Each structure stands twice: as structure tokens, then as C-alpha cells.
Structure 1
Amino acid sequence: MLPAAASPPRYAALARELADEIARGVRPAGSRLPTEVELSAERGVSRATVRAALLRLEELGLVSRRRRSGTHVTAGAPRRPGTYAQSLAGIDDLLQYAVETERRVLRVGPVIADDLLAARLALRPGSRWCQVSSLRVAPGRDGLPLCWTDTYADADAAPRDLERRLREGSHRGLIATLLAERSGRPIDEVAQDIRASGIPEGEVAEALQAEPGGHALEITRRYIDPAGIPLAVTVSLHPAERFSYSTRLRRTGAPEGSSAGG
């Protein structure tokens, strides 16, 4: 189930602390970071938290990790300035993305799912939704927007003052968490589809300050309650040069026919 609060995971806070030390030259390029055991004792966190934080730094291009030689600082700033690197290992990472970026609402309005929209997003034809079109940007920066997002919120679950809350910034987290809290329908699963796309001409290209027809990554997420009914569906369009995405895959059991013995 999706947590009600969108507080940053500890590994993300530790990653930011280490990245700041690297940026300030406390840990210059070429230097070796303490081991996981040493960092765990030094910062008062678990080794799993340290490992996740170092993975985040590696994704940003700040460190390189090699078995037996340890973790070394490779750069003083994240690669490709203006690019957001997202790691997805669980729902907490989606919450972290909402915390680390800023939503700029463009418009909010009701929409009825016609046959085309229903087929595209796997919705029930004729169902009522509240569409929120917005940009995601890195906070405190004057750089280019990270993505254009259309969020389709279940009209029955959305609060009447949804637009006010989003525009004034009183709710910075995922819109889906707000719907879950109000409706009492916890989010049990997030289904995600990723595909290559292009930047459409007109409003989207202008808002993103991107070349029409340019390469993009389209990510569709369906936030589903325990009954299998979507509370919200988001469609985000990321210009290719501004966003990188990584997923960690782990073996959940021994492959069929394999032996546990050495």
C-alpha cells in the first residue's frame, strides 16, 4: 500500500549529503569513499541504506564502484547538467521523485473518457475524471522542464479544492496519494508502461521548450486500489536528453533446474 506521507527515504537524504560533500570539495574527484561498513557506523544508518545511497551517486555519475577496490569519486557534479536521473526500486522512489521535483500546474478541468481515451489508458468509457496538466521542474533551477504530465484523477475521489491545493503547493506529493487519503482507497499497486515517443507540435513542445518531433520517453503509470480499480493514471512525456531512467532487477529465487549447491 502507498504510504500517506511523502517524506524522503533515508537513502536519498544520505545521497544528497554525500553529493553535497563532493560538490564542496570535501571529497574531491579521485578520492576514495569510506566502505559501506564505515559509512554505516559514521552516519548511523544501515548498510542497506548506504548501499542504496551509493547506487544513487553512481547513477548520477559522481562515483564508480568496483569490487575489491572500493568506491571512488569520479566527478564533482552530476553528469549532463539539467538531466534528472530516476531510479525505480519500489513505490518509495516514486514518492521521492515527487519530493525532489516541483509541479507547475498549467490547467485543471473535468474530462469524460471517450472511446479513444478509454482505450489508450484502459479506462471505462464514459467514466468521469479530473485532468491535471502540469510541468515537472528541478526546484531552485532556471533550467528546462523535465517533463509534461497529464494526470487523470478519479473524479469521485478528487477533493473539490484539488486545483487550489496543487496551485498553492499545499500538496507537493503524488496526486494519487491525495486521492487515496480522501477516498479511503489505498493504492495497492502501480502499473507502469514505458515507450519511445516524440514531442508533439504546439502547446506541449512550447511548454517543454523542445523541438517538435524530437525524441522523448513516455511513461504511463496506473495507481490501482485493492479492488483493481485505478484511482489515477499519469502520462508523462520526457524529452530524451533531460531524463534517464534505471531499474534494479533482482533474482527472487533459484532458476528452474538449478542447484543450491556449489
Structure 2
Amino acid sequence: MSLANAHPSPRYVTLAREIADEIARGVHPEGARLRTEIELSAERGVSRATVRAALRRLEELGLVSRRRRSGTHVTAGAPRRQRSYAQSLAGIDDLLQYAAETERRIIGVEPIVADDSLAARLSVRPGSRWLHVSGLRVPPGGSGLPLCWTDSYADAEAAPRDLERRLQDGSFRGLIATLLAERVGRPIEEVTQEIRAAGIPEGAVAQALQAEPGGHALEITRRYIDPSGAPLAVTISLHPAERFSYTTRLRRMRAAETPSTEG
């Protein structure tokens, strides 16, 4: 799958935004009961799974409450102040959506050459050139505490010269990997991901995150791989434990039917 050509907004996100906008405009006042999943599915022309995912997103924002047998009711006219982020990963679109739903704050941008230690950590060649972008991800509107500290490493040969300016002025808000892939025509074939428990280091990172040094955190390393197997970008994100939850959906694969050999 090409990440560069992936749609930035999954249908359930678009539907959630539509309903949230209707709630904000008073179409569905506080206390009102929304239509059932079946009714919304028929009305909006989407699957029940899409409706269910959209309602779950609205619930995460504090706009609705859902209870078995009593249905879905509007609980607020605007999203509550966001203190944490719940990410669900079913595909590449969800990575794009995380970038769309949060804001980036750049701390620094600098060219680097990967020494042996960094090369091993990124799984890249020692001596290779990268553009190191450090910064924070924060909730929409900048409300609440930072969600994570991220060190992004972009292939220096693929990075546009004005990358730093576009990141600093906010003219580009998406994943850095998509920008690189589009510029050099090397689509992202796959994204590898490693998750491990970590501690919040002392110094600038703890201060920027407004977190206690040594506190529990979740470290997620993602490598955006092109068709040749080379990484276009690598990101290492550190999430304070209480501000982030992560869900992965696993589905059973059906065995392919075996063609008949009878003559």
C-alpha cells in the first residue's frame, strides 16, 4: 500500500466530524437521543461498522454517551478538554489520522550523520545523512498537556529544502514520511512498528512534556519503508503513560479456498 496516496481522513472520522458539527449547531441538543446504528447507516450511506467507529470517537471526545438498550445520547455541545489520546490502529489511514487530529510543535531541526549507535537504533546504515526533527504532539487547539515527544529522522536526500520552514509555520501538518515519499516518488510500502516500556529522561524532554523524570512511558518506533526496503523516515515517540492508550485490532484470516482437482 502506498502511504503517499492514502486518504488522510477515514470515513468514520468524516462522519464523526459531521455529527460533532451538527451537535455544535444545536441540531442534536444536549440530552437528545441520536438515531440507532442501523438508522444512521441507512441515512448516511455507510456501513454499521463505520457508524460504530464514529460514535466511539464522539464518545472519546465527551460529546455522547452510549449504553446498551438506552442508545446514544448527546452529553455536551463541545469536546471536553483533552487530557489523553486513545489511538486505534487498523491500517495506515489511522497513522495519518493521528497526524491530522493532533498538532505538532517543533523544538528543533538539525542535519545529522548517523553514528554506529544511532544507526543501530534506527536500523539504518552508519554514516547515512538524516534531518533530525524534534518536537511535541499536543491535543487540538493546544489545550491540555503534551501527548508525546517525537524524534523524527528524515532521509536527507529525500527531504525538501524548505522542510524546516513548512514545519515551523504549520503549512505542512501531515506525516513527514508522506511528504518525502511524494517528493522523490518512493511510495511507502509498509510501516514497521516497535513498542516498548520506557522511562521519561531527565532534562529537556521531561520539561517539555511537563512530566516527572523517570515516570512510566510508552516508546513507539516506526519505520516508513519504501519498495526497495530502505527507510524514508523513522520516528521515535515517547508517550507519558497516563496520556496515551493504544489499541490494535486483530482479525482472523480466512484460509483461501483450494481449487478443485477433480477431472
Question: If the TM-score is normalised by the length of the shorter chain, which range does it land in?
Answer: 0.7 to 0.9
Residue in structure 2 matched with residue 227 of structure 1 by the alignment = 228
Give 3-state SS (helix, strand or coil) of 2:140's partner: coil
Change over 3 Å in CA distance of 1:60–1:142 after alignment to 2 = closer
Give the corresponding residue for 2:190.
189
> Alpha-carbon deviation of 1:161?
1.1
* 1:88 equivalent in structure 2: 89
Deviates more, 1:160-169 or 1:46-55: 46-55
1:42 corresponds to 2:43: yes
Paired with 2:91 and 2:6, the residues of 1 have a C-alpha distance of 15
Equivalent pair of 2:112/2:131 in contact (CA under 8 Å): yes
Displacement of 1:4: 3.7
Q: Deviations over 1:74-114 (max 9, x none)?
A: 96487884111111111001111111111111111111111
SS at 1:108 equivalent:
strand
8 Å contact from structure 2 (residues 29, 74) kept in 1: no
Trace 1:246-261 onto structure 2 (pairs within 5 A).
246-253=247-254
Q: Which moved more, 1:136-145 or 1:94-103?
A: 136-145
**Matched residue type, 1:131:** H
Residues 197, 80 of structure 1: alpha-carbon distance in 2 compared, 3 angstrom cutoff: farther
CA distance in 2, matches of 1:5, 1:171: 16
Q: How far does the alpha carbon of each residue in 1:111-158 deviate from its partner, in whole angstroms, 9 at most, with x for none? A: 111111111121111111110001111121332111110000011111
Are 2:61 and 2:82, in contact at CA under 8 Å, matched by a contact in 1? Answer: no
Q: Counterpart of 2:240? A: 239
Task: Check the 8 A contact 2:137/2:150 in 1, yes or no.
Answer: yes
- 1:46-195 matches, within 5 Å, as 46-57=47-58, 62-64=64-66, 66=68, 69=69, 71-73=71-73, 76=76, 81-195=82-196
Task: Give the distance between the partners of 1:132 and 1:231, measured in 2 at CA.
Answer: 14
* Paired residue type of 2:153: Y
- Runs of at least 5 residues in structure 1 that lack an aligned partner in the other structure: 255-262
SS at match of 1:253: coil
Q: How many residues align?
A: 251
Q: 1:178 to 1:104 in 2, by over 3 A?
A: same
Is 144-153 or 242-251 further displaced after alignment? 242-251
SS in 2 for 1:217: strand
Summarize the Cα distance change of 1:141–1:80 in structure 2 as closer, same or farther, 3 Å threshold: closer
Residues 81 and 59 of structure 1: CA distance in aligned 2, closer, same or farther (over 3 Å) = closer
Q: Render the CA deviation track for 1:183-240: whole Å, top value 9, x for unaligned.
A: 1000010111111111100000011111111111111100001111100000001111
TM-score where L is the length of structure 1: 0.85
Question: Cα offset for 1:16?
Answer: 3.2
Structure 1 residue 249 displacement after superposition:
1.3
* CA distance in structure 1 between the aligned counterparts of 2:21 and 2:219, rounded to whole angstroms: 31
Map of 2:200 onto structure 1: 199
Q: Distance in 1 between the 2:79 and 2:248 partners? A: 19
**Greater Cα offset, 232-241 or 14-23:** 14-23
Gaps of 5+ in 2: 256-263
- Report how far residue 48 of structure 1 moved: 3.7
Corresponding residue for residue 211 of structure 2:
210
Identity among equivalent positions (%) equals 74
Distance in 2 (alpha carbons) for counterparts of 1:232 and 1:65: 42
